[in-house]
Amino acid sequence: MNQERILKTLLAPIVSEKTSMLAQDNQYAFKVTKDSTKREIKKAVETLFSVTVENVSTAIVKGKSKTFKGKRGQRSDWKKAVVKVSEGQMIDVSAQ
């Protein structure tokens, strides 16, 4: 894994009420590239935030079907990663 690919793996933190509840259990959610692996996500989080990652869970989120002015469309699918960090460590996603 080259350094450039690791740095481009994480696209954005996901900040919502549900992810705020996860933060109490040292878990943080990120939007990641669709072709990234759990190893790449772990390496990216450890590199960018200087924390120790214990576990990575991923899921493909299907895009919604939408209608606008009678025309049907589809939002893009995207990949979500939930990362659990070691006890006592935290990531400040509000500053990102």
CA dihedral 92, 96, 47, 6 (to 10 degrees): 140
- Tell me the whole-structure pTM to 2 decimals: 0.86
Whichever domain contains 54, its CATH number is 3.30.70.330
Count of domains forming the chain: 1
Q: Which helix (H) or strand (E) holds 23?
A: helix 17-23
Residue 36's alpha-carbon distances to 33, 72, 78, in angstroms, are 6, 30, 11
12 is a domain residue: yes
Question: CB–CB of 19/57 below 8 Å?
Answer: no
Per-residue pLDDT of 17-56, as tens digits, reads: 999 899 899 999 999 999 999 999 999 999 999 999 999 9
Question: CB–CB of 40/3 below 8 Å?
Answer: no
Q: Binning pLDDT at 50, 70 and 90, where does residue 92 land?
A: confident
Domain of residue 16 covers 3-88
48 is a domain residue: yes
Q: Binning pLDDT at 50, 70 and 90, where does residue 93 land?
A: confident
Q: Binning pLDDT at 50, 70 and 90, where does residue 76 land?
A: very high
- How much of the chain exceeds pLDDT 70, in percent? 96
93 is a domain residue: no
62 is a domain residue: yes
